[in-house]
Amino acid sequence: MRKNHTGPKRRRWPVVLLATLAVVSTSGLVLLLATSSPGVGHFRTPEAREAYEDAYAEALGRLPEPTETQDIETTFGTVRAYTWIPEGRSDTTPVVLLPGRSSAAPMWGDNLPHYIEHRTVYAFDVIGDTGMSQQTVPMRDVGDAARWVDEAMAGLGLDRVHLVGHSQGGGLAAAVAVRYPDRLASLTLLEPVLTLSALPLSVVLASIPVSLTFLPESWREAALNQIGGVENEEVDPDDPLARMINVGAEGYSSSGLPNPVQLTDTELKNLPMPVYVGIASGSPLAGGEAGAEKARLIPDAQVKVWPDTTHSLPMQVAPALDAELETFWAAHP
């Protein structure tokens, strides 16, 4: 992590706020500006794919080396799945990670070293989004998205897992929990977008400059950082994860990727598994305190609002959060 000795510390975690762009730019008022129709996610040009693969490889190289890399066939395409098995092979229930939008498996670089100390971990790239998964069939809704997750877990022989999702991945994880509850030993939702509450109008309005590609890049970056509650000079654009997300956002069309939907009170009350919900105090994207209150409708819920944090919660407070999650998972084997 780099530092600016004449100004604020340059932080890496806000780059994942770029994942927020794809969510807010396909909701509310911004939806009216969209010109692409739902379909199959794809790179816009062969050159865009090549540039992304290079950036992805660099970002992935900062993670611990996977024990195994697999491509799992599902109804909607091929899922890229990475596996990390701890030395001596752990008998504990494994963890499955679903990333935020545009972030793919490399977003977990700060968390993985802690997770794999104790248990086997699987990380999926999302079908229909940037990453190494490949979509072949359109998805109608988040129910279809939940289906490919279930099929991928079945293809890996995973009967019961601790499912973890961040941002849009949190919404996807919640959809899996509603439809395939027997698959989950527990559910972890980290800043789940559009899951506990609707996006505030202020966020939707602020997203408009970000989604208008003809505006100067400096304007778009300023609007994005405003959504995330950070100053422009605090963000390190040269970080490999930042570069990967930027290249993917420019070169990949994921307009057909279903957005999460807000869970009803009944759905929340009927979740049978233990649920950990982590919400950032400085982000409106998961509902803040109101989202936390909604999450407390879940019968077996551990809900925490993390102080002085942004939407990039998993990497911002990685050591403390990861230790808390391991304690949570260990209590629900």
pTM metric for this prediction: 0.88
Q: How far apart are CA 273 and CA 255, in angstroms?
A: 32
Q: Parse the chain into domains and list their residue ranges.
A: 13-330
pLDDT digits (tens, 9 = 90+) for 208-227: 666 666 667 666 666 666 66
Of 32 and 81, the one with more pLDDT: 81
pLDDT digits (tens, 9 = 90+) for 59-69: 999 999 999 99
pLDDT digits (tens, 9 = 90+) for 300-321: 999 999 998 888 899 889 999 9
The predicted structure's pLDDT at residue 120: 96
DSSP 19-54: HHHHHHTTSGGGGGG----S---EESSHHHHHHHHH
Q: How far apart are CA 175 and CA 187, in angstroms?
A: 11
CB 104 within 8 A of CB 244: yes
The fold for domain 13-330 equals Rossmann fold (3.40.50)
Q: How far apart are CA 11 and CA 233, in angstroms?
A: 9
Q: How far apart are CA 175 and CA 87, in angstroms?
A: 33
Our measurement of the distance from residue 67's CA atom to the centroid of its chain's CA atoms, rounded to an integer in Å, reads: 22
The predicted structure's pLDDT at residue 208: 65
**Beta-ladder partners of 122:** 83, 96
pLDDT digits (tens, 9 = 90+) for 91-143: 789 999 999 988 899 999 999 999 999 999 999 999 999 999 999 999 999 99
Helices (H) and strands (E) in the chain, counts: 12, 11
Q: How far apart are CA 199 and CA 23, in angstroms?
A: 10
Name the residue with tokens 């799992």. 72
Q: Between β-strands 121-124 and 77-84, what pairing exists: parallel, antiparallel or unpaired?
A: antiparallel
Q: Which of 10-24, 230-244, 246-260 has the highest mean pLDDT?
A: 246-260
In this predicted structure, the answer to whether residue 11 has a pLDDT above a threshold of 70 is no
Q: How far apart are CA 68 and CA 84, in angstroms?
A: 7
